[in-house]
Structure 1
């Protein structure tokens, strides 16, 4: 077969009917559905507008800058996802849920503050802390304006003070406002609940500063007024050791401080007030003198017990042999304590029958327990003369027996 024959035998393509000069190619078909059916809207134009209106209406109650109700939908190590019924969830830092985020559960309802309906990532921006703050702000402001107290719990230490949970929001308690006296150990207050005065507010920065000291000062002033009207010489009072100096201790009687001088702490010797009392001790004292004009109070501790010199003659009559402790040494002798508040002097000449004592320290030391004899008792001047050598026989009295003549 020649090439010409092949061309002649090829089937001819039918031309479109002469009456359809403007024929259009058929559109693709997918399965049994043509592309035209996909392009036809499921809703009419009116129905589409109604649906869009209903969608917009579903968010009409959600406004930026307001507190809204949300539901926890997911919990991650660093953030919690909350659904507020908007087109996307909001992520909140887990730190905003307090010191115990483990108490948060999926499905739990929470109040959150809507900061922004959409951030750069298309997510709604929420805050739990701001919601807590806004919820209690009116009450906090009212307490601040009226000077009333608000109860709070001390949560954790930070630089310069302590964070306080105040009606569910965080407030700052400066170290200087924890107590009337200076506080060195903040940790002892953690976990405790107290009444506080709000001394500073800043809504824009959500800054709340509180004071416990102001509350204590008001209570102290009230107690002071009551104490001033009741205090009399000779009364027995309870107080707390507030401060210790070299000459005594200041005792807080509840509104007024009194001085407990070192000489009124014990009938015996006390080298320093800290040997007798410690700061914070609650002790019972006697009011020795109250100067109302100068508001000075002298207190006594030893006056709560009988004076040791009462009936001293019955306890230590002359020629009595007893034992005591050396408490002081001088050039002329040694002072021996027979009991608390009763001391006697052993003169250097009464220390030994046979030795020439150049100094008392050659025979005794402070703290030594020694046997002594009461040589003389001066009750009026509260003086006792003691002897150490008298506990042994006088060698001159037995000289003849030991060394007979001839």
Structure 2
């Protein structure tokens, strides 16, 4: 009888142990994420040892090369996979890296948003609104407004067809972006290259100082100026060239030359190498000037010209309000329509045309605002003096009236 009691006791203990083990061991199900050790890797399949229980297989359609851990897998590595079938036709567990990889991808991207990290992606498509960028295995949208200065389609006149052409040139290029918004549920990601560039540019901008001379290539010409890819600095009086990490600068149209420019493309062209001076650094924006590398001709103008003097000038433009006259290489003046003829001309081209050279009288000079007033009328100077005298007389009468009004107030 004691023997029977011992046997019963042993069975009870074994039952308890088995019950405890069942609680510890989770029976895998289809759709679960499971970890295994890599047994073999080939081009078309990967085999995993699943905790000594069984062998799992990942076939070609379910392989996933968008994450580094799956792309460079080798024997002995641990890997996570999603269960597709518990028991396939060969008695193996059918697995997928793709499903597991996509889960990991979204987790990686959400972590990048949380940590405000810059991520890399490859441009897949271009449309008028922006670019489709593949980040790991997920498509994200990059609006045109969020492109960096380097890639923003700077098109003269804003032609949409040409803008799309420039965007298409970016297809297959790798770019750095920051994730601005993410929704796994809607499978929607919006990214910004501009924000990523802003962050990276802070280090690049630190290379430059106000007043330095730089060299670079013109990358785009717009209505308001020219963009330059800066790649060199000119150091010291010896004008030694020093390579720098490329940065973008802008030359405003007013900083191209001392004279007024009507059409930038007559002065600069894309691909042209130029030198310019840094005149402002605002955040990550570098503003350049070509004209400030030369002597300001307006400083010398007051010694070269004077009111009442006659000067030969070439007509460079005919406007409805008058003529733009080139006095020398860097100085231009305006002959207003009222100063071109004793009679009112119905058509300015009856008086002069572009390329004509004529003798003008200098009526006025405003060196500070870069203006010279010219006239073709013989009595122009006398008229100008008379108008000035009339203006001064009116000012004097006004002051006298104000003075008398104040005195009357005191008497009251």
**TM-score when scaled to structure 1?**
0.45
Which structure's CA Rg is the greater one? 1
Structure with higher helix content: 2
